Amino acid sequence: MSVYKAPLRDMRFVLNEVFEVSRLWAQLPGLAEVIDEETAAAILEEAGNICTDIIAPLLRSGDEQGCTWNDGEVSTPDGFPAAYRAFAEGGWGGVGGDPEFGGMGMPKAISAQIEEMVNSANLSFGLYPMLTAGACLALKAHASQELKERYLPNMYAGTWTGSMCLTEAHAGTDLGLIRTKAEPQADGSYTIRGSKIFISGGEHDLSENIIHLVLAKLPGAPAGAKGISLFLVPKVLVNGDGSLGDRNALSCGSIEHKMGIKASATCVMNFDGATGWIVDAPNKGLAAMFTMMNYERLGVGIQGLAQGERSYQNAVEYARERIQSRAPTGPQESEKAADPIIVHPDVRRMLLTMKALNEGGRAFSSYVALQLDTAKYSEDETARARAQELVALLTPVAKAFLTDMGLETTLHGQMIFGGHGYIREWGQEQLVRDVRITQIYEGTNGIQSLDLAGRKIVGSGGALYRLFASEIRHFTANACADLGEFTQPLNAAVDTLDELTAWLLDRAQNTPNEIGAASVEYLHVFGYTAYAYMWARMAKAAMGKQAEDDFYASKMGTARFYFARVLPRIHSLSASVKAGSDSLYLLDAAQF
């Protein structure tokens, strides 16, 4: 496997030249004082260094060794505790945290780039700080001041980590079915009883305490999702002076043996009368959970992008060095026995597809992050509301499309390696195994697609869609004539998506199965169109600079490839959507 190199040049291009983030930051109170272009560059460079030098070298060894469970205690692979200490001591766990409690207060547009680098370096490692950041976000938004002051500083510092305890053996997506119970106590605390599964970072040896956020039901709570509350349940109880006290009544019953991310501890957590404290109000647990979901689901999408980036870096290095056969046009390196495989059309097709999807995904994830920043920091009520609506619309796309494309890019990378791609020591097969979970956790991609098509498109009567489509139309209407090679097919793609959206809105009125039948393909049409918008914006930023820098020449060439060879996928997907749901129900259950 090649040495991981953080794609800092492309990150700076996206932030500074495509989105001109310094302008936005200067207009947002809370950001203007803490971040500018120079500061951002320094932060990203230092993050790239720790990812390359400390975290990435543990990728294969962590996969080979995995986590181990012994009588309720979980050990991470060799090197992980030391790497985590270095990560925490550098302040990286609190990059996006509230400065009131020791965080750095950086915008999501910056933390998103750091998340990509950490997860490209080592997805298993990246899950520990990611879950902690999600728990911090929920606590910051919904916990009492007392709980914030007691827990957030150590969580931002990385001294304590966090987990989210949602899923139960019988209740995955349908959280209304959970059975974990919370009994109120006279001192204001609660006693928690129940079992949770698939808990990432539920137990490990990286931090001195783990702060679990647990969904449970109070006595007499309403049935279903309306009766869910959220509780803070520490592994080790915290004394009034902030010191650690007795071990809480919870334990790790086992860890899962998984296809990938083997260095991430995926735990069965048992709460046997554990002491916890309610976050927010009774029966408001789902609202508190969903506060962090937009951030977490974007984070999972970035994990897919990160694996695709690592796969591309490995594959392009291999393609430049591996010699096999001659180019169709004749020898390119006649002094060698054969040409490097990068000369072959199919290898170039795969590499360019990977490059186009990765760079389009980086721009798209950064775009969504910027909407999160606007929604959080803007004092303009109209701008804030618009950004919140865009986030609601685009979050399922970011989670599902980025991870679906992440699997595609890792598979392309494996294919470029040929037989070596199937062999463990070359690293590509691990990326394929690791990325697969990103399509499953934090809500499977089928559920994300249903959320987009059902709640966001049909549920809003198409209003959320029109908000995004009108932004694209505004961009193309105001673009210069030289950008026509990109804006014309982009407009055509939006026309296709307009038509498909209208079809879905119409059919959903009378055919209950239509939304579910159309949702995955619809999301993909949406995703490819959104990437086309990103590529048109990147082409605009790069146009006219090709002669001065190969970076811009590469950007323009990849943009042209995307519009010529990737965007046309929307036509077959649209045909699948319009085929309707009838064919899905031609078989009885017994006929499968």
Task: Read off the pLDDT band of 295 (50, 70, 90).
Answer: confident
> pLDDT at position 171, please?
87
> pLDDT at position 294, please?
73
* Whether 442 is catalytic: yes
- Domain positions in the chain are 444-580
Q: Distances in Å between the alpha carbon of 308 and those of 120, 272, 436?
A: 8, 41, 11
Residue 497, token pair as written in the block: 């998506």
Is residue 305 a contact partner of residue 362, using CB atoms and an 8 Å limit? yes
Distance separating alpha carbons of residues 88 and 488, to the nearest angstrom: 48
SS3 245: strand
> pLDDT at position 293, please?
75
> pLDDT at position 289, please?
82
For residues 109-122, average pLDDT: 98
Which is the catalytic residue, given 116, 168, 296, 442? 442
Beta-carbon contacts of 559 under 8 Å, excluding residues fewer than 6 positions away, are 356, 486, 535, 536, 538, 539, 542
pLDDT tens digits, 57-107 = 999 999 999 999 999 999 999 999 999 999 999 999 999 999 999 999 999
Nearest alpha carbon to residue 404 among 579, 537, 291, 569:
569
> pLDDT at position 176, please?
85
Mean predicted lDDT score pLDDT of the chain: 97
Distance separating alpha carbons of residues 525 and 513, to the nearest angstrom: 19
pLDDT tens digits, 149-176 = 999 999 999 999 999 999 999 988 888 8
Distance separating alpha carbons of residues 552 and 545, to the nearest angstrom: 6
Distance separating alpha carbons of residues 36 and 26, to the nearest angstrom: 8
> pLDDT at position 451, please?
97
> pLDDT at position 86, please?
98
pLDDT score of 513 more than 90? yes
Is residue 48 a contact partner of residue 115, using CB atoms and an 8 Å limit? no
> pLDDT at position 145, please?
97
pLDDT tens digits, 331-382 = 999 999 999 999 999 999 999 999 999 999 999 999 999 999 999 999 999 9
Task: Read off the pLDDT band of 2 (50, 70, 90).
Answer: confident
pLDDT tens digits, 433-467 = 999 999 999 999 999 999 999 999 999 999 999 99
SS3 202: coil
Residue 78, token pair as written in the block: 């060799």
Distance separating alpha carbons of residues 361 and 312, to the nearest angstrom: 13
